[in-house]
Structure 1
Amino acid sequence: MDTYARLLDELSTSGALGEEWRGAFERAPRSAFIPDRVWIQAKSSPNGFVRLDRAVDPERWEGLADSDAVVVTQLDDGFEEGPGVATSSASLPSLVAMMLGRLGLSGGDRVLDIGTGTGWTAGLLAARLGGDRVTTVEVDPELAAQAEAALRAQGLSPTVVVADGLAGWEASAPYDAIHSTAAVQRVPAEWVAQTRPGGVIVTPWGTTYANAGLLRLVVGEPGEAAHGRFVENASFMWMRAQRPHAVTRPEAGPEHRGPARLDPDLAIENVHAAFGIGLRISGVRYAHTWEPEDPAGTARMQLSDGAGSWASIRYVRWEEADAVHQLGPRRLWDEVESARLWWEERGKPELTRFGLTVHPEGRQVVWLDDPRHSVSGSRLT
């Protein structure tokens, strides 16, 4: 038995891969969609990645392609000499299988696949439903061309469109389901409008603070809202037009210094804490800085809203008077502390207790446990 067949057996045994999808995974193996040049993480590299070429190290390439691991297939949107940010990848097979299972598809359904990437997900959908029932949208022309070539080589023929997936693809609507492999901060109203009543939208969703939720929306009747829950912890690359801002310090602004009232470790204690905090302070992003000669002693969390407010919090001796430095009209660290307290007061809910309502005009409201219990104070509402 080859490596990929063993992987599928493992996914089937674990329950990640449903029997209705096994044939599609066999007909469209992931390795058929992985380009010959991929990128692997390496601390020794200036940008954190080194290239892995199939021709140079075929055994390692094949082992990676047939494993339950992410394979980075593009850095920096394809531009050379970039900072080394992964911008396209082939997701974990276990996660892909789980997401496809969440669509609840049956024969004859029509699906819009957003974020073609390597083409693998579109290939799986086409292998299950038939190419005439699958449309896939990719914003990057080069990636789209590579994916289409891989699909054709496998005898699969979904419609491949080069466009911004945030607008969906109205020409093939309505869809029974929309499947996105890129994270959004806001679910586009176009997705809801292009999905039939009772249809499903599955997409990674997050805030600038925590890109963490897999959302499953069920679309209502025309003019009605779509409702859904966050069903899994899943982090994907952002849709290009919704990528968060960089964490930057403003040159000037209202200034405040003082101690922290919260151990900074608790601000990102786990994915559930970060998700809950992010819902209350949407628009705030964090990053970490340290001095190379003393990483542990100088580690700091930095916060930015991209609109002139910034904060820096020291991890060690966080109770001391100079531990927190805040600039700008918002006191971002104070907001994080308040958001953490809000999350604790509600019993430290896991992210799967939250849900989202998308109204026809595009307004979205996050709620806890029930659509009637909106996350009041959230900047999403």
Structure 2
Amino acid sequence: MDQYAQLLAALTEAGALGEEWRGAFERAPRSAFVPDGIWVEDSDAPSGYRLLSKAVDPVGWWAEVDSGRQVVTQLDDGRTDGPGVATSSGSMPSLVASMLRHLDATDGSTVLDIGTGTGWTAALLCRRLGDGAVTTVEVDPAVAAAAGVRLAELGLEPHRVVGDGLLGHPAGGPYDRIHSTAAVQRVPLPWIEQTRPGGVIVTPWGTPYANAGLLRLEVGERGRQSHGRFVGDVSFMWMRAQRPHAVTAPDRPPDHRGPSPLDPDLAEENVHAAFAIGLRVPGVRTLHTWQAADPSGTHRFRLSDDAGSWASVRFHDWDGADAVHQSGPRRLWDEVVAARRAWLEDGRPELTRFGLTVTATGDQHLWLDDPGNALS
């Protein structure tokens, strides 16, 4: 049994890959959609990644592609002079299987696939539902063209669109299901408007603080609210137009200094804590910084909101008099401390206890356990 077959067998045995999708995974292997050059993490490379070529190292290439790991297929939106940020990939097979299970598409369902990427998810949907049931949208023309070639090589012909996935594709709607392989901070209203009432949207959803939730949203009747719950812990690349801001160095001295009431390690204690904190500190992104000469003594947790507020807290001696620096209209570290306290008071809920309501006009409201229990 080859590596990919072993992977599918393991996913099936674990209950992650149901029989309704097993045949699609077998007839559309991920390897058929991965380019000959992929990017693997390498701490010695300037960008943090090195190129792994199938022609140069076929054994290494196959080991990556048929593994259960994510395979990075593009850096920096295709630019050659970027900092080394992964911007397109072949997703982890276990996550793809999980998302398709939550999508709950059945024979006759029509699906809008947001973020064609390599084309693999579109291929799986085609194998399961038929080409005519699948519309797939990709914002990057080069990525879309490469996916089109690979889909055609397997004889698959979904309706392919090059465009902004946030706008969906109204000409093909309404759809029974919408499936996104890129994370959003806000569910686009066009997705809801292009889904039949009672239909389902499955998308990675996150905050700048914690890109960690998989949202399954059930679309309400026209003019009514749509409700959904976070059903899993996932982290996907952001939809380009909804990428969080970069955390930059402070441009002025702090206007507040003092000790921290919280060990900064606890601000990212686990994914559930980070997710809950992120829900209560909108727009706040984080970064770890240190000086090479003294990493442990200078290690700081930096936060910013891209609107003039920033904060940082020292890990070493975090309750010392000068541990916390803050500036701007918001006291970001104070907000994080309060958000973690609220999570504790709620009983340390896992992220799957949180949910999201989207109104008919596109406003988002977060809740715990029940739509009537809105986060304060």
TM > 0.5 fold call: yes
Q: Give the match for residue 133 of structure 1.
A: 133
Taking the aligned partners of 2:9 and 2:249, their CA distance within structure 1 comes to: 50
Contact 2:227 2:357 in 1 (8 A): yes
SS at match of 2:16: coil
Letter of the aligned partner of 1:137 in structure 2? V
Q: Give the match for residue 46 of structure 1.
A: 46
Query: 247-256 vs 10-19, which deviates more?
Result: 247-256
Taking the aligned partners of 2:250 and 2:298, their CA distance within structure 1 comes to: 21
SS at match of 1:340: helix
How many angstroms does 1:309 deviate by?
0.5
Taking the aligned partners of 2:95 and 2:26, their CA distance within structure 1 comes to: 16
Task: Please tell me whether residue 257 in structure 1 is matched to residue 253 in structure 2.
Answer: no
Q: How does 1:271-310 map to 2 (within 5 A)?
A: 271-310=271-310
Deviations 1:55-99 (A, max 9, x none): 000111111111100000000000002100000011110110110
How many angstroms does 1:52 deviate by?
0.2
Letter of the aligned partner of 2:145 in structure 1? A
TM-score by length of 1: 0.97
SS at match of 1:211: coil
Letter of the aligned partner of 1:372 in structure 2? G
SS at match of 1:198: strand
Q: Give the match for residue 147 of structure 1.
A: 147
SS at match of 1:45: coil
Task: Please tell me whether residue 344 in structure 1 is matched to residue 349 in structure 2.
Answer: no
Q: How does 1:235-250 map to 2 (within 5 A)?
A: 235-250=235-250
Taking the aligned partners of 1:13 and 1:124, their CA distance within structure 2 comes to: 20
Q: How does 1:30-45 map to 2 (within 5 A)?
A: 30-45=30-45
Deviations 1:14-53 (A, max 9, x none): 1110000011111100000000000000111111000000
Letter of the aligned partner of 1:150 in structure 2? R
How many angstroms does 1:249 deviate by?
3.7
Q: How does 1:1-381 map to 2 (within 5 A)?
A: 1-252=1-252, 255-376=255-376
Taking the aligned partners of 2:284 and 2:126, their CA distance within structure 1 comes to: 39
Taking the aligned partners of 2:90 and 2:160, their CA distance within structure 1 comes to: 17
Deviations 1:338-374 (A, max 9, x none): 1111111110111000000011110010000000011
Aligned residues: 376
Contact 2:254 2:325 in 1 (8 A): no
Taking the aligned partners of 1:164 and 1:23, their CA distance within structure 2 comes to: 31
Letter of the aligned partner of 2:51 in structure 1? R
Letter of the aligned partner of 2:90 in structure 1? A
How many angstroms does 1:261 deviate by?
0.6
Letter of the aligned partner of 2:268 in structure 1? I
How many angstroms does 1:250 deviate by?
4.3
Letter of the aligned partner of 2:209 in structure 1? Y
Taking the aligned partners of 1:10 and 1:286, their CA distance within structure 2 comes to: 36
Query: 85-94 vs 293-302, which deviates more?
Result: 293-302
Letter of the aligned partner of 2:135 in structure 1? T
Contact 1:281 1:336 in 2 (8 A): yes
Contact 1:8 1:17 in 2 (8 A): yes
Structure 2: which 5+ runs fail to align?
A: none
Structure 1: which 5+ runs fail to align?
A: 377-381
SS at match of 2:212: strand
Deviations 1:288-308 (A, max 9, x none): 101112212211000000011
How many angstroms does 1:3 deviate by?
1.5
How many angstroms does 1:132 deviate by?
0.8
TM-score by length of 2: 0.99
Following TM superposition, the consecutive aligned residue runs of length 4 or more in structure 1 with deviations greater than 6 angstroms are: none
Taking the aligned partners of 2:73 and 2:265, their CA distance within structure 1 comes to: 32
Contact 1:250 1:328 in 2 (8 A): no
SS at match of 1:313: strand
Deviations 1:163-187 (A, max 9, x none): 0000111010010000000000000
Taking the aligned partners of 1:250 and 1:4, their CA distance within structure 2 comes to: 47
Contact 1:252 1:328 in 2 (8 A): no
Contact 1:176 1:199 in 2 (8 A): yes
Contact 1:254 1:329 in 2 (8 A): no
